[in-house]
Amino acid sequence: MYRILGKYVKATHINDNYGNRDEHVLPFHGTVNWLQIMPIFQEIGYECDFTNEIHKEFNKLPDSLKNLLAIFSYEVAKYYLSLVT
């Protein structure tokens, strides 16, 4: 799909799921093949925003763990972005 839409893609929400519904979990925690998908963004010359949409990762966590998960999700994002460049 991204190859077809190419330059028309202006923003991308990043999340993963288990294939049953839209679970909004961190990349690499579901069934999406990020190692295959992320290089396509470089191929199409994508230069716009990526937004982590992972709110369900935080829902049941105690407040004391939410900062740690935010730091971890930042590291996951740095990794998947490294697959683009």
Question: With contact defined as beta carbons under 8 Å apart, do 55 and 24 qualify?
Answer: yes
* Full domain range(s) for residue 58: 2-82
pLDDT confidence band for 69 (50 / 70 / 90): very high
pLDDT for 65 equals 95
Question: With contact defined as beta carbons under 8 Å apart, do 61 and 23 qualify?
Answer: no
Q: Tokens 């199409």 belong to which residue?
A: 44
Residue 68 CA: distances (Å) to CA of 25, 56, 72, 73, 78: 15, 15, 6, 9, 16
What does the pLDDT look like over 14-46, one tens digit per residue? Answer: 999 988 888 888 999 999 999 998 999 888 888
pLDDT confidence band for 63 (50 / 70 / 90): very high
Given a cut of 80, is residue 1 above it in pLDDT? Answer: no
Please give the Cα distance from 68 to 56 (Å, whole number).
Answer: 15
> pTM here?
0.79
Number of domains present in the structure of the chain: 1
